[in-house]
Amino acid sequence: MMHSKLQAIIDLAVANKASDVHLCENTLPEVRVNGELVDLTNVEMGTQEQSREIILSLLTNEQKEKFLKIKEMDLSVTYGEIRLRVNIYYQMGLISAAMRLVSSTIPSLIDLSLPESFRLFAAMKQGFVLVTGPTGHGKSTTVASILNEINQTRKVHLVTIEDPIEYVLKPQMAMISQREIGNDTIGFSEALKSCLRQDPNIVYVGEMRDLETISSALTVAETGHLVFSTLHTNSASQSIDRIVDVFPEGTKSQVRTQLASVISAVVSQRLVPTLAGGRVPALEIMMATSAVKNIIREGKTFMIDNVIQTSADLGMISLETSLARLVHQGTVSEEVAMSFALRPSDFQNKLRSFNGK
């Protein structure tokens, strides 16, 4: 049963609209608000033994026994209207926990300030859509919003494979099967292999971590399904390279051909602090046009950035253009936007172009 002190910490985090809570023995709790870590100076964790008890209250007796053997564990915990995605681990011999707070309400595409083009992803019959970006920049929330759009509008079987489950999709028009690693299946690759026998229309792979998972995800997309997944990469071109580079040298050409045949779009997302408080998404969007597919097939991913910059009429946008637009609209400061730009000179050129209009 969750410790009352831990409940108080979570309540405080929710009240301050924190995205994450960090706990460690002998240390003040910290929360992440608008991307910045803040100490909870008015919360005492007590002695080392007491703080350990607080953290371990996240686990069932069975989970506790397993954790003490394997030293780290991913899990999800429900607390009232909040779901916690938890990673519990040791550091310097001390037990620590990182908890992501996930609302029971899935925000809409409009709530997240995402462009109308994202509805196109929800309407696709087949293909492969990747949502990428650094940790903590809203990838899972964006995908959940797209999946819930599908849930509200299409009569399909939607299968998710997650570690752990974050947003719980409540069936509306769609039939929903959410599978959690450890509880419902052994691993991503095993779940992906068996999901083809579960009559899915759409499959969400929480994260593509290894060759087997990536290979299985590509196969599911190749067999006529719509697949969504996430990667911890910074751009569309880097995402394509990451997928191909996982495979052995002799198979890369075949993988490029396979990927080119199924890829539909790659979104790279950053959550940028606004002048008014809160965060807003800055996006790079690559749509898989025939030109992009040829580039992937030929292994010339260095050309993708240029295609994105010159294909605004096809729904594409570079991260620098997205950041410059936010500055021009008065949403984000130029200094903050510059810190998120991958190509600062491109950002400055785009901003000058906006300001010159």
pLDDT in tens, 94-121: 999 999 999 889 999 999 999 988 999 9
Residues 130 and 85 in one domain: no
357 located within any domain: no
Alpha helices (H) in 154-264, listed in sequence order: 188-195, 211-222, 236-245, 252-262
- Final residue of a domain: which of 40, 74, 103? 103
Residues 179 and 207 in one domain: yes
When divided into structural domains, the chain yields a total of 2
- Residue 209 has what pLDDT? 87
Check whether 278 has a pLDDT greater than 80: yes
Check whether 324 has a pLDDT greater than 90: yes
- Strand locations in the chain (E): 20-24, 30-33, 36-39, 72-79, 82-91, 94-103, 127-132, 157-162, 175-180, 202-205, 226-231, 263-273, 279-287
Reported as a single tens digit per residue, the pLDDT across 205-255 is 998 989 999 999 999 999 999 999 999 999 999 999 999 999 999 999 999
- Residue 167 has what pLDDT? 93
- Residue 26 has what pLDDT? 86
Residues 152 and 298 in one domain: yes
- Amino acid 92 reads M
- Residue 300 has what pLDDT? 97
337 located within any domain: no
322 located within any domain: no
pLDDT band at residue 191 using 50, 70 and 90 as cut-offs: very high
Dist CA 348 CA 179 (whole Å): 45
Residues 127 and 174 in one domain: yes
- Final residue of a domain: which of 103, 133, 149? 103
Residues 208 and 90 in one domain: no
- Residue 130 has what pLDDT? 98
Residues 311 and 217 in one domain: yes
Token pair 């954790």 is at which residue? Answer: 67
Residues 84 and 201 in one domain: no
Per-residue pLDDT averaged across 279-299, rounded?
Answer: 97
Residues 238 and 147 in one domain: yes
- Residue 43 CB partners (closer than 8 Å, separation 6+): 5, 8, 9, 12, 28, 29
Check whether 356 has a pLDDT greater than 80: no
344 located within any domain: no
Residues 129 and 263 in one domain: yes
Question: Over pLDDT 70: what percentage of the chain?
Answer: 100
Q: Which domain holds residue 21?
A: 4-103
Per-residue pLDDT averaged across 268-275, rounded?
Answer: 96
Check whether 317 has a pLDDT greater than 80: yes
- Residue 289 has what pLDDT? 97
Check whether 357 has a pLDDT greater than 70: no
Residues 148 and 243 in one domain: yes
Residues 191 and 163 in one domain: yes
Residue 278, SS3?
coil
355 located within any domain: no
Q: Which is more confident, 42 or 348?
A: 348
Dist CA 39 CA 27 (whole Å): 10
194 located within any domain: yes
- Final residue of a domain: which of 48, 76, 103? 103
Residues 282 and 141 in one domain: yes
Check whether 199 has a pLDDT greater than 90: yes
pLDDT band at residue 290 using 50, 70 and 90 as cut-offs: very high
Q: Which element (helix H / strand E) includes 62? A: helix 61-70
Per-residue pLDDT averaged across 324-353, rounded?
Answer: 96
Reported as a single tens digit per residue, the pLDDT across 28-76 is 999 999 889 999 988 888 889 999 999 999 999 999 999 999 999 999 9
CATH number assigned to the domain comprising residue 226? 3.40.50.300
Q: What is the CA radius of gyration of the chain?
A: 21
Angle at 228 between CA 227 and CA 234, to 5 degrees: 135
323 located within any domain: no
331 located within any domain: no
Token pair 């199924």 is at which residue? Answer: 262
Tell me which residue of 72, 69, 55, 64 sits closest to 21, measured CA to CA.
Answer: 55
CATH number assigned to the domain comprising residue 90? 3.30.450.90
